[in-house]
Structure 1
Amino acid sequence: PGMTGIQLLQQLRQSGSELGIIVITAFGTIDQAVEALKLGADDFLTKPLDLDAIREAVFRVLERQRLSLTHDTELSHFHGIVGKSQAMQSLFHDASRLAKSDAPILILGESGTGKELLARAIHQESSRHEAPFVPVNCASIPADLMESEFFGHVKGAFTGANEARKGLFHSAQGGSLFLDEIGEMPINLQAKLLRALQEKTVRPVGGEREEPVDVRIIAATHRHLEKEIEQENFRSDLFYRLETFSLRIPPLRERGTDIEHLVFALIDKHAEAQGKQIEQIEPEALNSLLNYSYPGNVRELENAIMRAVTLSEAGVLQHQDLPERLREQSSQQKSSTDTTPTLSGEVLPGTQIPAPAPARWPSLEEVEKRYIRKVLEATGGNKRRTAEVLGIARRTLYRRLEDSEE
């Protein structure tokens, strides 16, 4: 009451509602239909109504929403790994393609970037997903036990070998063996690993015959293996065998606005795990989480959020709940700059303001509008590309641009 259907449609879309909307009118014209669709209606019907037409219109709206939801989920997640940035989208694409083969893969990345998560995701995406995924950290196994751990041993092979034992290759039969920190593997064992890769057989310690194995190798390291080769700590032939298909996980500092999605996804994850409900985040706490440098990458971010959720009270995540190093860097940034940080930690043009009092900062809505305009400028006014960069639907972008012009 008190407004037209077009006005109601406008109000719903301006409020951010993603509801499917079908406009029904007794006096439909082409101009009205065009206006309704431009304002965000999903379909436009005129009376008298035909039940089949209504059914088809509802089906079309539901199908579009299903496809949109599926597309958004595929874009932002890869088997539980969150990432909407261009770097992560490219990584997901390459990982998905490589998962379809049985070739060895080498995952490169700094500590804490999620190398094991990516290895698990590749396994889940592959035809081997119903077989075991066996992770092993090469740095955690004593050098004198490593050969037995990987290839197994026969009874009496060495002192204490009172019975035969299968190795990790046998445990991963039909599946994937993840060799984390492969740069720590002793060079004498590297030769035997290379033989296992080439021949698809292993010989248990003390054994006299080769045993066939069907295992896909996924290796990972934070080291520069080329330098290790120069120092004769890593075999070049093994490196070239693994490096044919390599994936690099970018550090968190190179992932742009991914940190925003990660912060909220991890808060939800740990709140649910602890049976808590986080209803509010102090602005200062959010600012610290978004602008910290994270030398420990996603692992450090997750640990910080797990701690904060654990310490939170009354559904509020406060600045004091964060680790001291995050709070300290935040206070140093505030005292050393008089510019306004954006959600991604960049500085927007034209936002010079006195920094000491957070209460004087622009509202989140103002920062969002400026950020959208900045991305739009960077893409040369290309709205499709802008929507992709922001990780939102084009319809949502149009609505927010209209809001910013009011």
Structure 2
Amino acid sequence: MQLIKIRDTASKFATAISRVLDVDVMIIDSSFQRVANTFRYVDDPPPVRTNSITGHAILTGKVMVVSDLTESESCKGCLDKAGCCISQIIAVPIHYEEGIVGAIDLLVPQGKHSPVFDNLELSIDFLERMAELLSSKLRNLDDYDKLSIIKKEREIILDFMEDALVYANELGEIVHWNSQFGALFHLDRRSEGTPIVDILDHPLIREAVAGHRQFSNQEFAYSDGSVSISGFLSFRVIQRNNIKYGMIFLFKSTDSAYNVLNDAPQVRSCSTFDSIKTEDPAMGAVIMAAKRLAVTDEPVLLVGPPGSGKSLLARAIHAYSDRGDWPFVPVDCRNFSPDYLEADIFGAREGGEDDFAPASKLRIARDGTIFFIHIEEMPFYLQRRILALMKSRVQADRSARVPRMVFSSSSDVLRLSSEGKFDEELGVRIAQNLIALPSLSERPGDIPILARSFIEKYKAIYRKDCFPEPSFFQRLSLMAWSGGVAELERTIERVVRNSHGQCVDSSSLASLLPGGSSGSPPLEEVMTLQECERQQILKAIGRFPNKDDAASALGIGRATLYRKLKEYGI
């Protein structure tokens, strides 16, 4: 740190010292350059050299005092001695951290008497205190520079975040925001100090500022005509030693949240047509039909028995289309109340068919794909709302932000329509692009192919070093697989997870199949189906702390797992 950076402060110090002691004061930095000089009595003091009095003070870190320069050993060899007008000098080094950054000189010209040398100890003590004050000024500047660097680094880091973030003080007044938040709410430097509730008037924001109650990922939607945001809001209070210093709000848009989920490696890797393992001609024809429809915006209906791969094919259609970089939003129409399903699809607020609430699945998927799973389970009045939406989009501008619709069903929707169990017009419309997936039992040649793929997948997950014998695949091919590919995958996962050696053969399946163990359990050990389910859920969440892994092990969706946990009071 150089004294030149505080030249103005050093000049003020020099002037103040000169007035108090009635002598000239010169402040020199460690490169022997004058930073400040009062020039009250000495118009042109000699230059500072390494072998001068001041030079010795800077190089040695010691106070140098010369009461008579004519008698000083340091001055005898001075090149500037002949023209020197100084008779007395005190040089006090300026210490900073572990070095010397300069010195303060008191200069008494020839022919002048100064009381400074009458009480030398007091004068030196005063100068040393002045040197310490200059050092503290350097330290403050250094700290400020470091803080500026930290602040700049913080801004770079915050701007690197995809989510919008704002920091407010303990009163809720905006102090700092990242570029995402600034762009979203049109902020500039004049916005500093503005109450956040004036920028974003929302009940969650008001409650957070008033009550300082922290929360994470609360569903959030806000629109005021010029700004529209939907997604999830998190709030944290910044405090230390029970003293609140401020608060942070983090906004994650629904688009961002779904993109994170869709971009997860395990999702991305199984979201393409290449991830569908098959050598079956019928399944190959299914993939070709799906590719032809994927490049259009036409609605598609996927029909097949449970576990036939409808969800995987829907993701592949989305990834293959020009919407692949936008959200893929699944909606399960089964096991939810009509009111909940309606709010989930269209949003909770009232409005026309085009007026979706910010957090609705239709709005989240507006540039991507919305996938209605088990469409046959959707209530009639919601089927008609979907039909009305599809009709309104027929004449829409292709540039409009409209989700592409893919449907799946385990039943024949045209037959259901004829029986009055499905809206006839919607059934006819979506069945125009119908793709029927064969069951796994209809393509037995794919069972070993799929099994090998699943074995490799779960060997990596569970860090197992096992390999299957031919008898293992023979046994798999003889099984019915009513649950399709999903059931096969769950079975392979359990086999790999439970394997203790390198060999996996037909006996590895015995304990997983009905009748695999000898004998039957005593009557008193028979449990109800609900208790069996509860015990299996407890076992899964005990083994897998992550709820997604637990749901996968149970062969159910995450939402279903949470519903079961609530139902059983777990």
TM normalised by structure 1 equals 0.55
Determine helix, strand or coil for the equivalent of 1:200. helix
1:130 to 320, 325, 346: 325
Q: State the one-letter code of the partner of 1:322.
A: L
3-state SS in 1 of match to 2:322: coil
Q: In the alignment, which of 461, 468, 471 is matched to residue 273 of structure 1?
A: 461
Greater RCO (Cα-Cα under 8 Å, separation 6 or more): 1
| Aligned counterpart, 1:232 | 420
Provide the C-alpha distance between the structure 2 equivalents of 1:296 and 1:220, rounded to a whole number of angstroms.
16
Distance 1:267-1:193 versus aligned 2 partners, 3 A rule = same
Q: For residue 392 of structure 1, what is the aligned residue in structure 2?
A: none
Which structure carries more helix by proportion?
Answer: 1
Residue-by-residue CA offset, 1:288-308 (whole Å, 9 max, x unaligned): 112212111111111110000
Q: In structure 1, how many angstroms separate the alpha carbons of the residues matched to 2:443 and 2:390?
A: 34
Aligned to 2:432: 244
Deviation at 1:213, TM superposition (A): 4.6
Maintained 8 Å contact 1:111/1:222: yes
1:85 aligns with 2:273: no
- Render the CA deviation track for 1:1-59: whole Å, top value 9, x for unaligned: xxxxxxxxxxxxxxxxxxxxxxxxxxxxxxxxxxxxxxxxxxxxxxxxxxxxxxxxxxx
**1:228: how far off?**
1.7
RMSD of the TM alignment (CA)?
A: 2.5
**2:507 & 2:437 partners in 1: Cα distance?**
31
Q: 1:323 to 1:110 in 2, by over 3 A?
A: farther
d(CA) in 2 for partners of 1:325, 1:311:
10
The Cα shift of 1:84 comes to 1.1
Cα deviation for residue 327 of structure 1 reads 7.6
Distance 1:300 1:106 in 2: 23
For residue 382 of structure 2, what is the aligned residue in structure 1? 189
Shift of 1:265: 1.1
Q: Which runs of 4+ in 1 moved over 4 A?
A: 323-329
Q: Which runs of 5+ in 2 are unaligned?
A: 1-271, 352-356, 395-399, 517-570
Tell me the CA shift for residue 86 of structure 1.
Answer: 0.4
Instruction: Give 2:366's aligned residue.
Output: 173
Relative to structure 1, the CA distance from residue 299 to residue 114 in structure 2 (aligned partners, 3 Å threshold; closer, same or farther) is same
Give the alignment partner of residue 145 of structure 1, picking from 333, 340, 344: 340
After superposition, the Cα gap between the structure-2 partners of 1:231 and 1:85, relative to the gap in structure 1 and judged at 3 Å, is same
Code of the aligned partner of 2:402 = D
Q: Tell me, yes or no, if the aligned pair for 1:292 and 1:326 is still in contact at 8 Å.
A: no
| Number of the residue aligned with 1:305 | 492
AA aligned to 2:380 is: I
Matched ranges for 1:27-176 at <5 A: 78-154=273-349, 165-176=358-369
Letter paired with 2:489: E
CA–CA separation in structure 1 for the residues paired with 2:383 and 2:349: 21
CA deviation profile, 1:201-245 (whole Å, cap 9, x unmatched): 9xxxxxxxxxx7511000000012223213322111001110110
User: Helix, strand or coil for the counterpart of 1:178?
Assistant: strand
| Distance across 1 between alignment mates of 2:339 and 2:514 | 44
Q: State whether residues 153 and 165 of structure 1, in contact with CA within 8 Å, keep that contact through their aligned partners in structure 2.
A: no
Q: Distance in 1 between matches of 2:386 and 2:421?
A: 15
CA distance in 1, matches of 2:299, 2:403: 10
Give the superposition deviation at 1:283: 4.0
Question: Percent of aligned positions with the same letter in both sequences?
Answer: 31
The alpha carbon displacement at 1:270 in A equals: 1.2
- 1:81-121: CA deviation from partner (whole Å, max 9, x where unpaired): 11111011111111111101000000000001111000000
TM-score by length of 2: 0.39
For the structure 1 residues 272 and 325, does the alpha-carbon distance in structure 2 shift closer, same or farther, using more than 3 Å as the test? closer
CA contact (8 A) 1:319 1:327 kept: no
Superposition deviation, residue 154 in structure 1: 2.7
* Residue equivalent to 1:348: none
Q: What is the rounded CA distance, in whole Å, between the counterparts of 2:368 and 2:386 in structure 1?
A: 17
Give distance in 1, aligned partners of 2:444 and 2:382. Answer: 40
| Alignment-derived partner of residue 77 in structure 2 | none
Aligned equivalents of 1:324, 1:235: Cα separation in 2: 45
Looking at structure 2, the residues matched to 308 and 272 of structure 1 have their Cα atoms a distance apart, in angstroms, of: 14
CA–CA distance in structure 2, aligned partners of residues 93 and 310 of structure 1: 35
Q: Does structure 2 retain, via aligned residues, the 8 Å contact 1:131–1:175?
A: yes
When the two structures are aligned, how many residues end up with a matched partner? 237
Distance 1:122 1:152, change over 3 A: same
What SS does structure 1 have at the residue aligned with 2:323?
coil
CA distance in 1, matches of 2:366, 2:461: 33
C-alpha distance after superposition, 1:179-207 (max 9, x if no partner): 00000000011110001112139xxxxxx
Q: Which runs of 5+ in 1 are unaligned?
A: 1-76, 157-163, 202-211, 330-406
Q: CA deviation at 1:256?
A: 3.6
Q: Aligned partners of 2:393 and 2:510: how far apart in 1?
A: 48
* CA distance, structure 1, for counterparts of residue 358 and residue 294 of structure 2: 30
Secondary structure in structure 1 of the residue aligned to 2:334: helix
SS in 2 for 1:198: helix
User: Cα gap change, 1:127/1:304 in structure 2, threshold over 3 Å: closer, same or farther?
Assistant: same
| Contact 1:104–1:217, Cα closer than 8 Å, also in 2 | yes
Alpha-carbon distance between aligned partners in 2 of 1:127 and 1:113, rounded to the nearest angstrom: 25
State yes or no: 1:290 paired with 2:477: yes
Task: Work out whether residues 128 and 175 of structure 1, in 8 Å CA contact, stay in contact via their aligned partners in 2.
Answer: yes
Aligned CA distance change for structure 1 residues 263 and 194 (closer, same or farther; 3 Å): same
Secondary structure of 1:322's partner? helix
Contact persistence 1:267–1:305 (CA under 8 A): yes
